[in-house]
Amino acid sequence: MIKISHISKIYKTDDFETRALDDVSFEIKAGEFVAIMGPSGSGKSTLMHILGALDTPTKGEYILDGESVEELSDDELADIRNRKIGFIFQAFNLLPRTTSLKNVMLPMAYAGLPKEEREARAKKYLEMVGLKDRMYHLSNQLSGGQQQRVAIARGIAMHPSILLADEPTGNIASSQASEVMGIFQKLNEEGHTIIMITHEPDIAEHAKRIIHIKDGKVFEDKINTNFRKVI
């Protein structure tokens, strides 16, 4: 599904050149649950933006479902993001004075889905993440863990083949983090490919494969033998 080949990302100013990624290569198959780990400044956020088709590499090639991403136009990239990638952000990115239901319906409106279908999908996925009784609450009336669940429901509403989560437990309590990871594991069992960016080793242990990034390079890529299943 994903093939990254010798990717580098270089940021240049008049006086400096910063190599955020340096000759990174790996593949991710459909149905995997992969954690990409690294400390602040390691390049994992830059890698996330490239994987999410939000940025393009300076060098190298990114193949997504057989398409070379860096050769696509801005409109084609936007279409890929809308059809194939569901995003879940650390900061939730919900509209604060809007209900959970309408927050989940919003990206489907941009895609032109009929209102009845948008509402049916939103209710289905909010119920799936345990928010059946919070559909009509405003997002600023929800706890951090509940807001992240709304964000997950929104991320999967367009039936993306890839779910890309950036520090999804960074702004919630540890007890809620376990619940969120349980949702990710369930989604993975249902066939979703999940790529999770994190700096927390205990969160990464909920994934089945861990890629470690340091100084813009992959220094370890392994199957997680300490896989932590949420019961």
Three-state SS letters, the chain:
CEEEEEEEEEEECCCCEEEEEEEEEEEECCCCEEEEECCCCCCHHHHHHHHCCCCCCCEEEEEECCEEHHHCCHHHHHHHHHHHEEEECCCCCCCCCCEHHHHHHHHHHHCCCCHHHHHHHHHHHHHHCCCHHHCCCEHHHCCHHHHHHHHHHHHHCCCCCEEEEECCCCCCCHHHHHHHHHHHHHHHHCCCEEEEEECCHHHHCCCCEEEEEECCEEEEEEECCCCCCCC
Mean pLDDT of 5-16: 90
Mean pLDDT of 109-138: 92
Contacts of 94 (CB under 8 A, 6+ apart): 103, 139, 147, 150, 151, 154
Q: What is the pLDDT of residue 231?
A: 66
Q: What is the pLDDT of residues 55-96, one digit of tens each?
A: 889 999 999 988 888 788 888 888 888 888 999 988 888 998
Q: What is the pLDDT of residue 217?
A: 95
The one-letter amino acid code at 99 reads T
Q: What is the pLDDT of residues 190-206, one digit of tens each?
A: 999 999 999 999 999 99
Instruction: Return the domain boundaries, the chain.
Output: 30-55+85-223
Domain 30-55+85-223: which CATH number of 3.40.50.300, 3.40.50.12160, 2.40.50.140, 3.40.190.10: 3.40.50.300
Tracing tokens 């390049």 back to the chain, one arrives at 43
Q: List C-alpha distances in Å: 13 to 58, 59, 227.
A: 14, 17, 42
Token pair for 131 = 């928010």
Residue 176 predicted with pLDDT over 90: no
Q: What is the pLDDT of residue 131?
A: 93
Q: List C-alpha distances in Å: 21 to 9, 45, 222.
A: 5, 10, 19
Percent of the chain's residues with pLDDT above 90? 63
